[in-house]
Amino acid sequence: MDPQALSVESANIARHESAWQRLHRHWSVRIGGVVLALLVLTALAAPWLGTVDPTLFDAASRDLRPGQSGEITTLDGEMIKHRFLMGSDSFGRDIYSRVIYGTRVSLLVGIATALLALAFGILLGLSAGYLRWLDGPLMRVMDGLMAIPAILLAITLVAMWRASLITVVVAIAITEVPRVTRLVRSLVLSIREEPYVEAAVSLGTPTLKIMFGHILPNCIAPLIVQGTYICASAILVEAILSFLGVGLPPDIPTWGNIMAEGRVQFMAYPHNLFFPGVFLALTVLAVNILGDGLRDTLDPRMARRV
């Protein structure tokens, strides 16, 4: 950890700056946050951004170059003129609309996976850290789960359960749960030695209340940071699964699916891969940068470790 940043950090704490103020000043939180906010806006406003329904196709508008105009048949069977900003794929679907709508799927998968993994990780981590008899067996299972490479585990789970949005989210979350469990457990082990926990115990506070009322609130900052990284990695893994053809069903417009469809004609029409690839990389980058910024501001202890 760089000593300069640490001293700045302690100076900020000494000045009683609130976490919010520190967050605002951090450049990577700003950049990551702004890009992410734009992506969320894009996802919400997808229908009003000059898109057509992402499932529409037209045989006459196949393999158009970016910027070319063509026609597309709406769901009512009406032919409308449409400008294909990012070109079209081999079915004559509008890549631009699919990429914009794909933002929704990616962000949804990222956030849902992070929340699910955090929820289970917190539950298991608190149990392992606080109920000593459970610690050994539970952590051995987590060690075993961590030894199976994440992408392979996710691929197999999705293949077993049939691909859908829910199974993909659950499968990716399962690969992330062990890491969260470990983090929460180690935090619990150090926090439970704090005087205020001892005080609560000696006052006869029920175990559940100590776990959720006294210990959990002190784990929040590292968990937010961890959640951000899980979100980034989940977006990546979903795209990889869909790209390999073992993720979300092909009719759902996701960046991975667009690229899976486009890879066949990659040499002739690279735009099929280029645009979703740029969006994917940009999104993951924004979330990762945001995570780094959050780590530096919210959790200086962790920053020192990395």
Which region, judged by CB under 8 A, interacts with other proteins, from 73-81, 105-113, 182-190, 286-294? 286-294
* Binding-site member from 289, 295, 299, 300 for other proteins (CB under 8 A): 289
Q: Does 263 bind other proteins (CB under 8 A)?
A: yes
**The pair of three-digit structure tokens given for residue 229, joined into one six-digit string:** 């990284």
* Beta carbons within 10 angstroms of residue 276's beta carbon: 28
Asked if 165 touches other proteins (CB under 8 A), the answer is no
Task: Give dist(CA 150, CA 135) in Å, integer.
Answer: 23
Segment lying near other proteins (by CB under 8 A), choices 53-61, 65-73, 216-224, 279-287: 279-287
35 binds other proteins (CB under 8 A): no
94: CB partners within 8 A, 6+ apart: 51, 52, 54, 56, 72, 82, 84, 85, 86, 88
By CB under 8 A, name the one of 69, 83, 266, 301 that touches other proteins.
266
Question: What track of x and - describes contact with other proteins for positions 133 through 152 (by CB under 8 A)?
Answer: -------xx-xxx-xxxxxx
* Selected range binding other proteins among 6-14, 101-109, 119-127, 288-296, rule: CB under 8 A: 288-296
Query: Would you count residue 277 as binding other proteins (CB under 8 A)?
Result: yes
State the maximum Cα–Cα separation within the chain, in Å, rounded to a whole number.
77
What are the start-end ranges of the E strands in the chain?
A: 68-73, 79-84
Planar angle of CA 126, 128, 134, nearest 5 degrees? 140
Determine the size of the site formed for other proteins (CB under 8 A): 44
Say whether 57 sits in a helix, a strand or coil.
coil
Q: Does 239 bind other proteins (CB under 8 A)?
A: yes
Q: Is 65 in the site for other proteins (CB under 8 A)?
A: no
Place of tokens 């849902």: 112
CA torsion 51-38-257-57 (nearest 10°) is 0
The residue ranges that bind other proteins (CB under 8 A) are: 1-4, 140-141, 143-145, 147-153, 155-157, 159-160, 232, 236, 239-240, 243-246, 259, 263, 266-267, 270, 273, 277, 280-281, 284-285, 288-289, 292, 306
